[in-house]
Amino acid sequence: MRTRIKICGITRAEDAAVAVAAGADALGLIFFPQSQRVVDLTQARAVAKEVPPMVDLVGVFVDPSEAEITRVLESIPLTALQFHGSEPAAECDRGGLPYIKAIRMREGIDTDRLAVAYPNAGAFLLDTYHADAVGGTGIAFDWHRAKLELPVPVILAGGLDAHNVADALDQSGAWAVDVSTGVEVEPGRKCHEKMKAFCEAVCVWDTQAGDRPIIGKTA
């Protein structure tokens, strides 16, 4: 089973084109105003033009209003949504697209309870908890904590790069990986060589790992 790759925080069309060519399965556009990687609709449209069929374009939101989501969906051909705040399940469902629910892995978090609370989530993204930031911290958490039996796929995020992604996959058994800071020159500007190296590192791990147990569903 091939590990899926999502490269998040894309802000430039040229970065999107390289990410796709390198083998990314999904690109993330951030619509959270406080993020250093936020995009406006003009930037998002330019990125979207570089995304071919069979590659997902994921809109990342943090506690958005319904109007915010609608405004984006009217202009950008997103194929999935990602919610990184404290949105209840009903609000996640209103987007009308498959969605990923992010879980910030603070100590003592009850992932089983959250899985029940978001029955329509297509995947859970496990990210580092930071009191002052919502994603994009570049900090890893204990990857063994991602080895969970959840009813849907697990996406691993937080502090990943080409040098540590193999260890992260060894320890977590995750279905997919999500990278942002680890392939950047600076926030919002991706390093093309780092993106290529990251995708290659995942490909090499897949080849060497062979058949392995996958956490969550593989469909």
Catalytic residue among 8, 92, 178, 199: 8
Nearest of 174, 173, 165 to residue 203 by alpha carbon? 165
Q: Which of 40, 63, 112, 127 is catalytic?
A: 127
DSSP 122-183: SEEEEE--BTTBSS-------GGGG----SS-EEE-SS--TTTHHHHHHHH--SEEEESGGG
Question: What are the phi and psi torsion angles at 17 (to 5°)?
Answer: -60, -40
Lookup: tokens for 97: 């697209």
Backbone angles phi, psi at 144, to 5 degrees: -60, -30
Could you confirm whether 15 is annotated as catalytic? no
**CA proximity to 101, closest of 87, 9, 113:** 87
Active site annotation includes 92: no
The residues carrying an active-site annotation are: 8, 127
